[in-house]
Amino acid sequence: MNIIQGCVRYPPAPGGAETVVRAYSEGLYSKGHKVEVITTDLYTETPFVKKKMPTEVSGIPVSRHSAFSISGEAHYVLAPGMVTSFLRKEADVIHTHSYGYFQNHAAWIKEKLQSTPWVITPHFHPSWSMWGGAKRRTLRDFYDSNIGKSTLEAADLITCVSGHEREMLVKEIGLKDDNIKIIYNGIYWNDWKEVPDSKIFRENFPEVSDKFIIFAGRLATNKGIPDLIDAVSMEGSKRFDLVVMGADMGLGNDLDKLALSKNVKMHRIGHVNDETYRSALSAAEVLVLPSEYEAFGIVLLEAAAAQTPVVAARVGGTPEAMSEGKNGILVEYNDSKSLSKAIFTILDDDKLSKELGLFGREFAKGFSWSNIVDLIEKEYNLLLA
């Protein structure tokens, strides 16, 4: 089968959707399919950073097209070269990722002109959860009703990474759910067969205290990191450090100032390599994901695989990426007091912490990428039947 995966960015560019596209691409390639990726030369979108990156990753050809952006509140990534690239490449199936991006319109053109079956995984975030302020949300609402809905309806299949994402597409966009299937995100279990060695993180970051709380993800306005800083300051600013790990989307300096004002010893360590990332999750006492919205939350599975308890905001697909009360605690979004109570309930109870960690590791085993790739391959075959 010839398969084209389309996305706005592709590794080594960081990000959750990027991780999914790579897992699909490499998994399908390993099963003997011919896979190509069509993407842009963006490394990060906010800030808008373009970077020279490889045209082949793990044996998979990657076409990286020059990206442009409409400025200001109307920010939108354009990559006209994608259209020609989609049309020229032979494909039995095209699969694009992320709602509201140019690759979907390029794929739509190929589907219309060449009748190529098209799958889209939206990684959908409702307009009220996005960055950019009221003006940008108004523009997004206009896009949803005038362009986004018709784009999604043109796809032969929509796959959602959680039941909640499907509900949002029905509620926010007005789609019918008869063309939507749920295929959860996953992790590379081979990377987690053994609990990661915490010593790797300790050796790289000796300045971090023995016991620390960790956040892992993009440093963006919708991730709730200020709430986490506030929660840590309530009880643990002197007992526990806070490690913030992930690519800075322009929020870093403000977080530094807030942590200093709250007397929280915060270590902002940026984007780290995979080995250090896994080690950091293993070394932490608890992972906290206080986001305003998550379509799923792969990091919750990764922390569980590292045998680390989790605390998360009860939003989006996060309840489906963990087992409430068994490997972690859910709280309401933007409630620093409840967040603090949940974090320190775990930190102050060694027996509970161990039980949550052990259950989480078993829970994470059910989300292996190899099983998930089998599911997406089955859906491709059904489209071609």
143-194 residue pLDDT tens: 888 888 999 999 999 999 999 999 999 998 999 999 999 999 999 999 999 9
The residues, any chain, with a CB within 8 Å of residue 101's CB and separated by 6 or more, are 7, 8, 77
Quickly state the pLDDT bin for 132 (edges 50, 70, 90): low
Residues 262 and 304 in one domain: yes
Beta bridge partners, 37, equal 5, 62
Length in residues, the chain: 385
Cβ atoms of residues 20 and 13 within 8 Å: no
Q: What is the mean pLDDT of residues 224-240?
A: 89
pLDDT at 231 over 90: yes
- Tally of domains in the chain: 2
CATH of residue 102: 3.40.50.2000
The pLDDT tens digits of the residues spanning 35-71 come to: 999 999 999 887 889 999 999 999 999 999 999 987 6
The conformational region for residue 90 under phi > 0 = left, psi -120 to 50 = alpha, else beta, is beta
- Domain of 58 in residue numbering reads as 2-186+368-384
Residues 97 and 70 in one domain: yes
Cβ atoms of residues 330 and 297 within 8 Å: no
What are the C-alpha distances in Å from 289 to residues 44, 256, 264, 317? Answer: 21, 18, 18, 12
The tokens for 274 are 């995979």
- DSSP result, 315-352: -TTGGGSS-BTTTEEEE-TT-HHHHHHHHHHHHT-HHH
Beta bridge partners, 331, equal 313
pLDDT at 299 over 90: yes
Residues 131 and 223 in one domain: no
Average pLDDT, the chain: 93
The pLDDT tens digits of the residues spanning 345-363 come to: 999 999 999 999 999 999 9
What's the rounded Cα separation, in Å, for the pair 128 and 130?
6
Cβ atoms of residues 346 and 240 within 8 Å: no
The pLDDT tens digits of the residues spanning 203-225 come to: 999 999 999 999 999 898 889 99
Q: What is the pLDDT of residue 126?
A: 79
Parallel/antiparallel/unpaired status of strands 286-289 and 212-216 = parallel
Stronger pLDDT, 71 or 261, i.e. the higher one:
261
Quickly state the pLDDT bin for 85 (edges 50, 70, 90): very high
Quickly state the pLDDT bin for 72 (edges 50, 70, 90): low
What's the rounded Cα separation, in Å, for the pair 375 and 336?
39
pTM here?
Answer: 0.83
Q: What is the pLDDT of residue 138?
A: 79
Residues 157 and 114 in one domain: yes
Residues 84 and 124 in one domain: yes
Quickly state the pLDDT bin for 236 (edges 50, 70, 90): low
3-state secondary structure of 195: coil
Identify the residue whose tokens are 């799958």.
119
Residues 150 and 9 in one domain: yes
Q: What is the mean pLDDT of residues 279-290?
A: 98
Beta bridge partners, 270, equal 245
Residues 35 and 164 in one domain: yes
Residues 78 and 222 in one domain: no
Residues 25 and 172 in one domain: yes
Q: What is the mean pLDDT of residues 130-155?
A: 80
Residues 147 and 121 in one domain: yes
What are the C-alpha distances in Å from 261 to residues 98, 227, 246? Answer: 37, 14, 22
